[in-house]
Amino acid sequence: METAPEELYEQLEFRENPLYEKIISDLLENQYSVIDSFFDEDEVEALRNSLINKYTEDNFKKAAIGNRTNEVIAKSVRGDFILWINEAEAGAAEKLFFNKINVLVDYLNKTCFLGILTKEFHYALYPEGTFYKRHLDTFQNDGRRKLSMVCYLNQEDWKPENGGELVIYKDKNGLETSESIFPFPGRMVIFESQVLEHEVRPVKQERLSITGWLKTR
Ligand SMILES: O=C(O)CCC(=O)C(=O)O
Ligand SMILES: [Fe+2]
SS (H, E, C) 130-143: CCEEEECHHHCCCC
**Strand order from edge to edge, sheet including 118-126:** 32-35, 188-192, 145-152, 207-215, 118-126, 81-84, 61-62
Q: How far is the CA of 172 from the centre of ligand 1 (A)?
A: 22
For residue 112, which of 32, 25, 53 has the smallest C-alpha distance? 25
Q: Does residue 152's CB lie within 6 angstroms of at least one atom of ligand 1? A: no
Q: Give the largest CA-CA distance in the chain.
A: 68
pLDDT in tens, 50-86: 999 999 999 999 887 765 555 555 668 899 999 999 9
Q: Does residue 166's CB lie within 6 angstroms of at least one atom of ligand 1? A: yes
What pLDDT score does 199 carry?
98
Pocket test for ligand 1, best of 153, 168, 211, 215 (most atoms within 8 A of CB): 211
pTM (predicted TM-score): 0.91
Q: How far is CA 32 from CA 50, 114, 132, 169, 187, in A?
A: 28, 15, 19, 11, 13
| Helix, strand, or coil (residue 62) | strand
Give, to the nearest 10 degrees, the angle between helix 41-56 and helix 92-112. 120
Q: Does residue 209's CB lie within 6 angstroms of at least one atom of ligand 1? A: yes
pLDDT in tens, 78-117: 999 999 999 999 999 999 999 999 999 999 999 988 889 9
The number of the ligand 1 atom at minimal distance from the alpha carbon of 80 is 9
Q: How far is CA 39 from CA 30, 36, 68, 109, 154, in A?
A: 22, 8, 32, 21, 12
pLDDT in tens, 25-52: 999 999 999 999 999 999 999 999 999 9
Protein residue with least CA distance to atom 10, ligand 1:
137
Q: How high is the ipTM of this complex?
A: 0.99
CA-to-CA distance for 102 and 131, rounded, in angstroms? 29
Q: Does residue 140's CB lie within 6 angstroms of at least one atom of ligand 1? A: no
- DSSP, res 171: E
Hey, what domains does the chain have and what are their CATH numbers? 31-215 (2.60.120.620)
- Residues measured by CB to lie within 5 Å of ligand 2, the ion: 137
- DSSP, res 58: T
